[in-house]
Amino acid sequence: MVAVTRARKESAGLKNMKTIPIQELVSIISDGIYHATSIERYRDIIDNGYILPGKRVTHKNFPQSEVSNCHELSAIACFDFGRADASKVFGDDAMMKWPGVLLSYRYSDYPTTILIGFVRSLLPKEPLYYAEIKKQLGFGGIIPYGIECCYPGQLSLNLASNIIAACHWNQVVLELVSLKNTVITNNMIEQIGSRHIELAEQYRLTLRDGKTYEA
């Protein structure tokens, strides 16, 4: 049920330190539409059975969501990397932006981003993309390169195709856990979160001491 992907690329900062390039994460989530959240919010999603529109939740871990286009539309903020221009999405400038977009749950108790994936063609409603969002709200306030979309209404967790738990420290990806069972127990989520806390602390100490990092 759980598949773990670890780093294979050597970091430029420390010899033999292995992390996961952001390109790998973006490539993995280019197979559908994804909603990113924290472990705390994912627990709420499990309890509700649904991902709720932005105006129906409290954004404790990602307060900037309250000024997003999707929040204004009372929709769910999602990413659709697969629909965007790959030459732009995987360009050098874009790769400097994606860690801040995908790995910014700095108010969470866990160094983990939960990415909930959906098959685009199986969604009950059509997501709103750049042209329609700008038609309704005007210009400004949207993530570049057309990767952001807004899903109108709530989304049942039962529709999710997969879930990825990304461990990160200071926007560096340390581990990706793929969960094929999308209804996960709180105990399993706690185990993943605790492991990620340990990995992030190990990585932090490695950077401090200049030692080799091995996940």
pLDDT in tens, 148-168: 899 999 999 999 999 999 999
Note whether 189 and 43 are within 8 A (CB). yes
The pLDDT of residue 11 is: 36
DSSP label of 127: P
Note whether 69 and 62 are within 8 A (CB). no
% of the chain residues with pLDDT over 90? 52
Q: H-helix or E-strand containing 92?
A: helix 92-102
Torsion of CA 43, 36, 69, 66, to 10 degrees: 40
The pLDDT of residue 8 is: 37
pLDDT for 72 beyond 90? no
Look at 207 and 214; give whichever has higher pLDDT: 207
The pLDDT of residue 182 is: 73
Over range 127-134, report the average pLDDT. 88
The SS3 assignment for 66 reads helix
Q: What is the mean pLDDT of the chain?
A: 83
Q: Dihedrals φ, ψ of 125, to 5°?
A: -125, 160
The pLDDT of residue 183 is: 72
Note whether 36 and 114 are within 8 A (CB). yes
The pLDDT of residue 7 is: 40
Note whether 137 and 69 are within 8 A (CB). yes
% of the chain residues with pLDDT over 70? 81
pTM, rounded to two decimals: 0.85
What are the residues facing 172 on neighbouring strands?
169
The pLDDT of residue 134 is: 83
Kindly state the tokens that stand for 179. 């969960």
Q: What angle do CA 26, 51, 200 make, to 5 degrees?
A: 50
